[in-house]
Amino acid sequence: MLDDETLIAFMDGELDDAEMDRVAAAVDADPALAERLDALQTTDTAIREAYHPVAEEAVPDHLVDLVRSSEASDDEPTVLPFRRPAPEAATPQRPGWTNYAAIAASLVLGVLIGGRLGGGEEGLMIFDGDRPIAGGVLAAALEQQASGETGPDGTAIQLSFNATDGTACRSFLHGETTGLACREDGQWVVQMTAPAETANGSVMRTASSAMPTSILDAIDARISGDALGAEDEAQLIANGWRRGNRD
């Protein structure tokens, strides 16, 4: 009989594929094992249900105020030194963009917000809560322009790809700023920006001569499969980036 530790790792989805299959088959074949798994699950469920409501409660105001009024927001240096994301930043079991705010905020979001794009050309990025949404000519280019083309205003789309969380993402170049945006809820959410530069030694060089390493790294961390081909991309553009139940 399999030991509890194995059954627990099975419940947590922490075994490799072959092991998952092996345990699943063993549980199917052995009623005693199935019963044991059931008991373990009953305990897990009780524990989860006991604490789940806490996260649904309203957060006390004093905690929110503490963050909002923090000295850090006034006195801290304006931009954190950018370091390469640690390997554990990629968490396959939790696709999503929990890191985008951190990446963008710590990098050179200021280039877009406070500098060239935001300053001179109103509306290229609009904040929806804390999500920077592409607007104006940037949104139009992301929505309609094929990769490799440069629009009349100089906005270039470099490549499109599917992210591991199912969203479609595109990298762009506008003026001296490059960036990465992904389509969420019908909008292009800017994930990060960086000053344009000549990338070298990168596998994606051909698609993106102006893409800095930080953007390439961000793409590498998110991309599912290869960059979209022209045909797939054209179809998405024609469909308003809707496909199946993804969007």
Number of residues that bind other proteins (CB under 8 A): 71
- Answer for which of 17, 29, 31, 78 binds other proteins (CB under 8 A) is 78
Rounded Cα gap, residues 201 and 199, in angstroms: 7
Is residue 68 at the binding interface for other proteins, with CB under 8 A as the rule? yes
Is residue 185 at the binding interface for other proteins, with CB under 8 A as the rule? no
Is residue 16 at the binding interface for other proteins, with CB under 8 A as the rule? no
Cβ 152 to other proteins shortest distance, Å: 27
Rounded Cα gap, residues 135 and 154, in angstroms: 15
Q: Which is nearer to other proteins, 114 or 148 (CB)?
A: 114
Q: Which is nearer to other proteins, 81 or 225 (CB)?
A: 81
Q: Which long-range contacts (CB under 8 A, 24 or more apart) does 209-212 make?
A: 210/158, 210/173, 210/178, 211/158, 211/171, 211/173, 211/178, 212/178
Q: Which is nearer to other proteins, 63 or 238 (CB)?
A: 63
Residues 118-177 that bind other proteins (CB under 8 A): 129-130
Enclosing H/E stretch for 112: helix 109-113
Rounded Cα gap, residues 177 and 94, in angstroms: 29
Query: What sign does the dihedral 217-222-225-230 (CA atoms) show?
Result: negative
Q: Is the Cβ–Cβ distance between 222 and 169 less than 8 Å?
A: yes
Q: Which is nearer to other proteins, 110 or 123 (CB)?
A: 110
User: Which of the ranges 106-114, 136-144, 152-160, 235-243 carries the binding residues for other proteins, by CB under 8 A?
Assistant: 106-114
Cβ 91 to other proteins shortest distance, Å: 6
